[in-house]
A and B are shown apart, each in its own frame.
Chain A
């Protein structure tokens, strides 16, 4: 059988057997509404995985569950050797602070703090000295091309500038996985393009795995691979081999 079980080829910079996150049979319900109905998924080390789907399909719920923010009703999430769904909240909270970065549509910067203070915040919260944290923040602002905004507060920034500061803040802890939910959703095309170009470049340099939730195919095209969530499930992978037609007829009888 000339078929593969994956929907996309592995990116060339990845070796085989390089799983970062593995989710098995995830079920999540909000009251009577099932948001995820048995999702099994593997995120490979170093890849940028686009999770797409129509609104209400469950893609954001999937991100929150993979990031350990939401505990599923059933199923497991493994991060390397750890089964994070079996861990307690304080252990998952440490994981989110140290190894995961999270970025939402509206960067959620603290309006009273300057850009460098905002970016330094995750480091300060995990007990780093202020001087060290501010120096790191300056470096990350520079990587996203917004070093000149260091002393500026969010209300004085454009949407695109604020979002680049927010990406810098999500990356300052040098997470192994960055979870981004509609990171350009509030931006126009060119501002969104700038955020994505820098996010992808920096993630590749830092060897950060990215799980990117978006409804927008043009944003998904920045990823290495796409999975589509529909009605809380991922449809079966389609075979990579387009030529084979055998086995199609028996389904029609």
Chain B
């Protein structure tokens, strides 16, 4: 989970300066820790060095200079590559999962969100097969079985959320006719 990708996602909706990005981030991801201004600016500079964003203007209102950034084509490619990468299935991954779906929808691509959810489901189920084998292969100790149960319950909870998310995204796709 990287702040860079979240900022790229927010920027892909249009030009913003750092302060607007911070405000939008804190508003859209209330469960996340609020971004520090310093972190926003150092991240934007890093994204600029990587060619993912570009400064397009400097606004001077009665205060400090505010540099307005926009996403480059490379930046757009990067955000889609990130959306295609699954998170490592593990307990407590729900926050990055929902963040990724939110960003996918923000960049205006319900198909990308649906595609990501399907890939993530496959990865989760593969992990669940592993824990199921731990339980059924015999020779596992009780604490290994209990740990497998715990992991399975959490992965199942993620999947349950992902299923609901899929249905919502599916409904959205139908509505916007993609």
Residue in A217, A220, A223, A224 whose Cβ sees the most chain B Cβ within 10 Å: A217
Which residues from chain B contact A228 at a C-beta distance below 8 Å?
A: 118, 121
Residue A218 at the chain B interface, CB threshold 8 Å = yes
**Is there an interface contact between B80 and A221, defined as CB atoms closer than 8 Å?**
no
* Known interface pairs A200-B136, A201-B136; A218-B81 also in contact (CB < 8 Å): no
Residue in contact with A249 in the complex, picked from B76, B122, B129, B135, CB distance below 8 Å:
B76
* Known interface pairs A221-B132, A251-B111; A242-B156 also in contact (CB < 8 Å): no
B86 and chain A: residue at smallest CB distance: A242
Residue in A200, A218, A230 whose Cβ sees the most chain B Cβ within 10 Å: A218
* Known interface pairs A200-B136, A221-B152; A226-B109 also in contact (CB < 8 Å): no
Give chain A nearest CB distance to B144 CB in angstroms. Answer: 15
Residue B25 at the chain A interface, CB threshold 8 Å = no
**Is there an interface contact between B111 and A221, defined as CB atoms closer than 8 Å?**
no
**Is there an interface contact between B111 and A222, defined as CB atoms closer than 8 Å?**
no
Give chain B nearest CB distance to A91 CB in angstroms. Answer: 37
Residue in contact with A193 in the complex, picked from B76, B80, B135, CB distance below 8 Å:
B135
Which residues from chain A contact B170 at a C-beta distance below 8 Å?
A: 230-231
Residue B159 at the chain A interface, CB threshold 8 Å = yes
A228 to B114, CA, bound (A): 13
The 0/1 profile, CB within 8 Å of B marked 1, for residues 1-13 of chain A is 0000001100000
**Is there an interface contact between A238 and B122, defined as CB atoms closer than 8 Å?**
yes
**Is there an interface contact between B129 and A238, defined as CB atoms closer than 8 Å?**
no
Give chain B nearest CB distance to A247 CB in angstroms. Answer: 10
**Is there an interface contact between B125 and A245, defined as CB atoms closer than 8 Å?**
no
A33 to B111, CA, bound (A): 26
A226 and chain B: residue at smallest CB distance: B125
Residue in contact with B156 in the complex, picked from A218, A248, A249, CB distance below 8 Å:
A218
Contact-residue bracket for chain A: 20 to 34
The 0/1 profile, CB within 8 Å of A marked 1, for residues 33-49 of chain B is 00000000000000000
**Is there an interface contact between A217 and B118, defined as CB atoms closer than 8 Å?**
no
The 0/1 profile, CB within 8 Å of B marked 1, for residues 159-201 of chain A is 0000000000000000000000000000000000100010011
A193 to B112, CA, bound (A): 35
Which residues from chain A contact B111 at a C-beta distance below 8 Å?
A: 251
Residue in A201, A221, A235 whose Cβ sees the most chain B Cβ within 10 Å: A221
Which residues from chain B contact A235 at a C-beta distance below 8 Å?
A: 118
Residue A155 at the chain B interface, CB threshold 8 Å = no
* Known interface pairs A221-B128, A222-B132; A242-B152 also in contact (CB < 8 Å): no
Give chain A nearest CB distance to B82 CB in angstroms. Answer: 9
Residue A80 at the chain B interface, CB threshold 8 Å = no
A197 to B170, CA, bound (A): 34
**Is there an interface contact between A242 and B84, defined as CB atoms closer than 8 Å?**
yes
**Is there an interface contact between A221 and B125, defined as CB atoms closer than 8 Å?**
yes
**Is there an interface contact between A242 and B119, defined as CB atoms closer than 8 Å?**
yes
Q: Please report which residues of chain B, range 80-107, place their CB below 8 angstroms from some CB of chain A when the two chains form the complex.
A: 80-81, 84-86
Q: Please report which residues of chain A, range 213-253, place their CB below 8 angstroms from some CB of chain B when the two chains form the complex.
A: 217-218, 220-224, 226, 228, 230-231, 235, 238, 242, 245, 248-249, 251-252
Q: Please report which residues of chain B, range 122-148, place their CB below 8 angstroms from some CB of chain A when the two chains form the complex.
A: 122, 124-126, 128-129, 131-132, 135-136
B80 and chain A: residue at smallest CB distance: A248
A220 to B155, CA, bound (A): 13
Q: Which 9 A-B pairs have the closest CB atoms?
A: A221-B128, A245-B81, A221-B132, A217-B159, A248-B80, A197-B136, A221-B129, A218-B156, A217-B156
A-B contact list, 22 entries, CB within 8 Å: A8-B122, A8-B126, A54-B167, A217-B124, A217-B128, A217-B155, A220-B128, A221-B129, A222-B136, A223-B129, A226-B122, A228-B121, A230-B170, A238-B115, A245-B80, A245-B81, A245-B84, A248-B81, A249-B76, A249-B80, A252-B76, A252-B109
Chain A residues proximal to chain B, CB less than 8 Å: 7-8, 54, 193, 197, 200-201, 217-218, 220-224, 226, 228, 230-231, 235, 238, 242, 245, 248-249, 251-252
